[in-house]
Chains A and B, each alone.
Chain A
Amino acid sequence: MNARLRRKAGLAFVAPAALFLAAIVVFPLGHAFWTSLHRVRGLNATFIGIGNYARLADDATFWHSLGVSFAFTASAVALHLSIGLALALVVNELRTARTALRIVFLTPWMVAPAVGATIWLWLLEPQFGVINYLLRVAGAITAPVAWLGEPGTALASVIAVDVWRGVPFVMLLMLAGLQTIPLDQYEAASIDGAGAWTRFRFVTWPNLRYLVIVATTLDVINTIRHYDIIGVMTGGGPAGATEVLPALIYNTAFRGNRLGEAAAIGVALLGIVLVLAVVYVRTARLDDDRTVR
């Protein structure tokens, strides 16, 4: 086949996906940016330049929401990583039932977040929920706690649910990473008389460090964008205590009907994600074939 024909054939293969993404992702993205420069009232859009962004800059709600997003993301990611790594280390040491355990541990991750959140609403129900019952029996609380009714406990609760949902994926990545570490390194360390901690410190950790950075960045990107759990459990309340940026965007657009402002918040969130994405791409070096180091 000559070069021109090959090119044409190649384009015919790639074009459907490229056009599809252009129509379903790129065009809406451009449109969102355009919307962010307008004041939208029903079908009327008035161009106001950076008006929406200027307003965000001294909008207390936006800054509050940004703070909630950081608190939510930082705590959830730290817990995903530490618990996920710990569980991966444990499962990796077990010689039997590893596949069964992996399936069990992954269950929270494969069920829809909205459905998982619904189950947790029932677990956390103040009067009849089983969590309050168990805590009372254990003597940890004396009166029922309205977990989602108070700002402090509401944020902690949605973080806990996100941890429950997010640990499995990190564990999976870490488990895959652990399995690439050459066994002779452990053997050598054991011969030198290294204990469990020393082996972790000088064999496991150096081998896994790169993967931990990749997993952290990926997890931050996914967590900071996540809406479903908060959408179902609190909708951002009480009093904005759990109103992370995605929830603020949703509420501004579809409850407040202020599409222009919502789009501007969305673009701000996209900016944050993009910075993180650059970190990710730099770290992951997606174009070369190196394995975990």
Chain B
Amino acid sequence: MKRHSPGRVAALWTIALVAAAVMLFPFYWMLNTSLKPASEIFASPPTFVSAQWSLDAYRTIFETRAIGRYFVNSLIVAVGSTALSVVLASLAAYGLTRFFPRGATPFVMFLLFTKMLPETLLIIPYFRLMSDVGLLDTHLALILAYSSFALPFSVWMLIGFFRSIPREIDEAAQMDGASVLQTFGRVILPLARPGLVAVALFTFLIAWNSYVWALVLTTDSSMFVLSVGIANMVGEYRVQWNELMAAAVIAAVPVMVLYSLLERHLVSAITAGAVKG
């Protein structure tokens, strides 16, 4: 690559660091506020680094609010959606690439169409449907909904992965006496592992971060997921901002950790579609 003068490098770094500071400041402020005692929240001027940082707000939200319960609900829903979506997507993507190579494109078009539907439109009938079959206020209702959002993209992504695995590998396995299902489960799936990891992470993030569906489909506060529980705290008469920010930290940290660990998988998979076209 071309060489840059030191001045130019310094200018580039300045822009990058200023932009990073703007992007991250809200998270700093979330963390900072969550560590303050209640008395310091309304201090003027606000303290950027408190002398009395403590974990009191965290203790309070676990003791007096159902934040632990919300966390478990979010986790159940996210893991459930991930499992369902990965199973359905890998089966479909394998079937399409191996048995209907020409049917794959129309099916993918249909999948992309479903990905574009406005969620607030689908919520109306989905709410009715779930109430008719008695699934309101259940984890299953959310798992089904989130899997359906993640599925189109997951199938699309996995089709790319399965296509890159040569058909000769399937044929060799079947020569050796493996059934179709064994070929898929024991030979192809392990080869597609990076794709499966990306799909799983993608679905987990969608399910963990989703808000409006859980808002509509749960009314019993013991069924709230984190995003709904947190947004509900905002509506209270007197907002305890340190507690609210502590809850936000609890919602944000798991995705940040997961994401940082698996960044490479997810980024390459998501950009591949748009960049390759």
Interface residues of A (CB under 8 A from B): 1, 6-7, 9-14, 16-18, 20-21, 24-29, 31-32, 35, 87, 90-91, 93-95, 99, 101-108, 110-123, 125, 127-128, 130, 133, 137, 164, 167-168, 172-173, 176-177, 180, 183, 186-187, 190, 210-211, 214-215, 218, 221, 225, 227-228, 231-232, 245-247, 249-250, 253-254, 259, 262-263, 266-267, 269-270, 273-274, 277, 281, 284-292
Contact = CB atoms under 8 A, between A and B. Distances in A.
Contacts of B51: none
Contact of A111 (B16, B252, B260): B252
A13 B92 contact: yes
B191 interface: no
27 contacts: A9-B180, A12-B95, A21-B151, A106-B259, A111-B27, A113-B211, A114-B211, A115-B230, A119-B30, A122-B244, A122-B245, A123-B29, A133-B45, A211-B275, A218-B274, A225-B116, A231-B212, A247-B120, A249-B120, A263-B121, A266-B121, A270-B121, A274-B116, A277-B113, A277-B116, A290-B276, A290-B277
A1 B125 CA distance: 43
Residues of B contacting A: mostly: helix
B26 interface: yes
A77 B227 CA distance: 25
Interface in B112-135: 112-114, 116-126, 128-129
B145 A24 contact: yes
A111 B255 CA distance: 7
Contacts of A103: 259-260, 263
Contacts of A262: 124
Contacts of B120: 225, 227, 246-247, 249-250, 253, 266, 269
Given A32-B121, A107-B24, A277-B116, A20 B148 contact: yes
B231 interface: yes
B275 A173 contact: yes
Interface string B149-192: 00110010000000000000000001000001000100000000
B138 interface: no
Contacts of B125: 27-29, 31-32, 35, 263
A169 B123 CA distance: 26
A108 B23 contact: yes
A98 to B, nearest CB: 10
B151 A16 contact: no
Contacts, number: 295
B116 A122 contact: no
A32 B100 CA distance: 31
Given A14-B96, A32-B125, A291-B275, A119 B151 contact: no
Main secondary structure of the interface of A (DSSP, over half): helix
B33 A122 contact: yes
A285 B277 contact: yes
Contacts of B147: 20, 24
Given A102-B263, A119-B245, 6 more contacts: A12-B95, A18-B92, A107-B256, A119-B30, A273-B117, A286-B108
Contacts of B13: 94
A101 B16 contact: yes
B79 interface: no
A114 B26 contact: no
A292 B277 contact: yes
A246 B124 contact: no
B211 A232 contact: yes
B238 interface: no
A29 B119 CA distance: 10
A31 B151 CA distance: 21
The 5 closest A-B CB pairs, nearest first, are A10-B99, A13-B95, A266-B121, A17-B92, A112-B209
A286 B105 CA distance: 8
Given A25-B122, A266-B121, A286-B108, A11 B212 contact: no
A172 B129 CA distance: 38
B144 to A, nearest CB: 6
B6 interface: no
A247 B121 CA distance: 11
Nearest to B276: A291
Contacts of A232: 211, 231, 234
Contacts of B75: none
Nearest to B214: A114
